[in-house]
Amino acid sequence: MPNASPSNGELVDHGIVEVGTTELGGYTVDFLTVKEPVDMSRMLRGLPGDACHCPHWGVVNSGSMTVRYADGNEDTVAAGEAFYLPPGHVPTYEVGTQLTQFSPTEELKATEAAIMRNLQQLQAT
């Protein structure tokens, strides 16, 4: 049976976050560790509405995240809580936040491309 853990996937350190990634049956499992405050509004620029349109399910293992939606609503997810993020969300993470997140791999590709493009621009400045 395939499984995922922080130690058996590809680990990438982006400076502000560290992400361990594993593929499981059409889903991407990310183990995210936040090393600096992160407001994803900068990373999601260029996507429709400058928001993530890939759904995610997961658990916040430590720390917390706040998620904004296009309708102006906001949710905070704290350590020990499970979450579902529907399309059209923009998260922010506090330092020390660790989470495990499941995303449909094909839908995640556009979001990852925008994040990498925006991260490279930020690191170049």
Q: What is the mean pLDDT of each run of 10 residues along the chain (125 residues)?
A: 77 89 95 95 94 97 96 96 97 97 96 90 77
**Is 10-124 in CATH node 3.90.950.10?**
no
Supply the pLDDT for residue 1: 62
Supply the pLDDT for residue 9: 77
What residue has token string 């995922």?
4
Is there a contact between 51 and 58 (Cβ–Cβ < 8 Å)? no
Dihedral of alpha carbons 96, 24, 55, 118, sign: positive
Supply the pLDDT for residue 31: 97
Ramachandran area for residue 63 (φ above 0: left; ψ -120 to 50: alpha; else beta): left
Domain spans of the chain, in order of start:
10-124
Q: Could you give the C-alpha distances from 85 to 1, 3, 95, in angstroms and in order?
A: 27, 23, 20
Question: Rounded CA gap, 57 and 32, in Å?
Answer: 13
Which residues on adjacent β-strands are paired with residue 29? 22, 102
Tokens of 79: 């350590």
Q: Could you give the C-alpha distances from 1 to 24, 27, 69, in angstroms and in order?
A: 10, 15, 36
Supply the pLDDT for residue 122: 77
Question: Rounded CA gap, 87 and 54, in Å?
Answer: 5
Q: What's the predicted TM-score (pTM) here? A: 0.90
Supply the pLDDT for residue 24: 93
